[in-house]
Structure 1
Amino acid sequence: MQDENKNIIIILLVLALFTGATIELNEGSTIVGVILFIVAAILISRMKLRGSEGVQSSRNYLLIGGFIVAADLIYNYISGSELGTLDSMVFFLGVSLIAMGAGKKDLKQLGEFGFYISSVFTGLYLIFYSLFGFLNIDFLHLFDHYFVLMPTVAFMKIFSIPIEIVATETVILYGAEPMTIVIGGPCSGLYSMFLLIGIVAGYSRIEKMDVKKTLGLLGFAVLIAYIANLIRVLILYITAYFYGMDVMMMVHTHIGWMIFAVTAGGIMYIVNRK
């Protein structure tokens, strides 16, 4: 049980590092991104995996997982598009299926855990971003305005920091000079919610938790993800106010995946304690 808990913590760290590496390679430092990938690989090698004679490999999982990984990489190469968060999760889904098809018991369990995380994230992403966009449902903009901008701006005004909402997802912050800041897309914090929901779903299935406990843990994870994102946005406001837009954009690149790592690790620590 101790090794299994250790493996779950490691896979959470690997997920955070993998997400961070993707963000760094796209928006931040290539060197930092490569380092994060290397650290993730080292962590994976530290997992203690025990073989099991009763566990058979599945060629179907291996083939499907390999196809998903290859298709994702080939599509991005041919289209010349950048590797985004959804691509990372699709890639992670393929790798998880490959792990599920392996003949080692612990590796298969980790693959199952990764499968729940990546498939839940991908499903929620397709619903909230793709399907809602296709149906012209304005949920994302309304969420950003009422649940992100309004509470964070109200908090800043408590401390007499000059800031005002000028559009659905846009604020003007009056620091050394007026700065226009757009809070939308990943800044809504929904990505972190999707990931944490996937983590809870995977952990619940593997540990065979009852429905009541699972729903309670899901509600707790969503609440923590929401509060963590508000804190992240407030940090960005404060950074822009005191140090300017350039420093804020640098912090914006790094802080999201770091807060996710701390949040996910904290939730799993609480769950393991109980």
Structure 2
Amino acid sequence: MDHEKDQTMICKDRDLVIILMILALFIGATIELSEGSTFAGIVLFAIAAILITQIKLPVTNSFESSARYLILGIFIIIADIAYNLKKGSTLGTLDTMTFFFGLSLMAYGTNRPQLKHIGIFGSYISGIFLPLYFVFYILFEKYSIEFIHLFDHYLILLPTVTIVNLFGIPLEIIATETVRLSGVEPMTIVIGGPCSGLYSMFLLIGIVVGYSRIEKMDLNKTLYLTIFVILIAYISNLVRVIVLYTTAYLYGIDTMLMVHTHIGWIIFAVVAGGIMYLMDIKR
């Protein structure tokens, strides 16, 4: 019996890791399709689809099929598309995560256990991301709250400039979120928006919340993990920005922009995988 229990736990842990990889690949594919390489985006989607077939989780009563989730997911996606068509606006981060939320609900509403587990994780991740994005990027802007600009300046720009200056890279602060770099070519770099690292932080918080709910972790452990995730996400973003500075200094703005497109979701996948592993062994 103990052997069978151990085998079940190994399979479950393996499947949870695969689910996280699938979610990271879907997020990476979305970023690639919107900002980077269409070919890379299609490849990432294809890999995610292949990984879905490798999940062996059984059907449980808590994941019974529900058509209302499927219908709600379809409605959310159609409503977002209709809104953008009416406004004549282009799709952005908020739309991407809204689509992700709708697709997750659709997956949860099917009768396939593989899709259901991906759907519930995706619903938690996007369900946490969307209200946080609304508060920090829409509500704060509407009421002229300068949190994002202050965060970018004091917690991203100043630390990263100080670090790269220690390594002899000539970087000068010329505005709240802007630096001047003299490398293979003179350039100015704006640290703002996605460079704040808050997007990844929101996604990782969603992973912790989703995992803790599924695994029924106690509140104190969930809070500790959330604080840990916020710290790791912040440090990881500092590393990302420093890599971008260094790339721009050594190879120029075009290479830096190419690295900028890909490095964010790659770091997210690595960090998320590490956090998932820690959550599993500390469970």
Indicate the TM-score class for this superposition, using the shorter chain for normalisation.
over 0.9
5 Å-filtered alignment, 1:146-157, equals 146-157=154-165
- Larger CA deviation: 170-179 vs 126-135: 170-179
Of the candidates 203, 217, 229, which is equivalent to residue 211 of structure 2?
203
Counterpart residue type for residue 108 of structure 1: K
1:184 maps to which residue? 192
Of the candidates 33, 40, 51, which is equivalent to residue 32 of structure 1?
40
- Larger CA deviation: 69-78 vs 225-234: 69-78
Of the candidates 125, 132, 153, which is equivalent to residue 117 of structure 1?
125
1:63 maps to which residue? 71
CA displacement at 1:104 relative to structure 2: 4.7
CA displacement at 1:77 relative to structure 2: 5.5
- Number of aligned residue pairs: give it: 274
CA displacement at 1:273 relative to structure 2: 2.1
Q: List gaps (5 residues or longer) in structure 1.
A: none
Quick one: structure 1 residues 114 and 235, their matched pair in 2 at CA, closer, same or farther if it must change by over 3 Å?
same
Quick one: structure 1 residues 179 and 63, their matched pair in 2 at CA, closer, same or farther if it must change by over 3 Å?
same
Identity of aligned residues (%): 61
CA displacement at 1:59 relative to structure 2: 2.3
Superimposed CA distance per residue, residues 189-232 of structure 1 (whole angstroms, 9 cap, x where no aligned partner): 00000000000000111111111101110011011100000000
CA displacement at 1:99 relative to structure 2: 2.7
Matched, 1:269 2:265: no
Matched, 1:127 2:132: no
Q: TM-score, normalised by structure 2?
A: 0.90
Task: Give RMSD over aligned pairs.
Answer: 1.9
5 Å-filtered alignment, 1:173-252, equals 173-252=181-260
- Distance in 2 separating the partners of 1:209 and 1:62: 28
Superimposed CA distance per residue, residues 16-47 of structure 1 (whole angstroms, 9 cap, x where no aligned partner): 22222122122221111111111112122222
Counterpart residue type for residue 229 of structure 2: A
Residues 55, 104 of structure 1: 8 Å contact kept: no
- Distance in 1 separating the partners of 2:137 and 2:102: 21
- Distance in 2 separating the partners of 1:170 and 1:250: 19
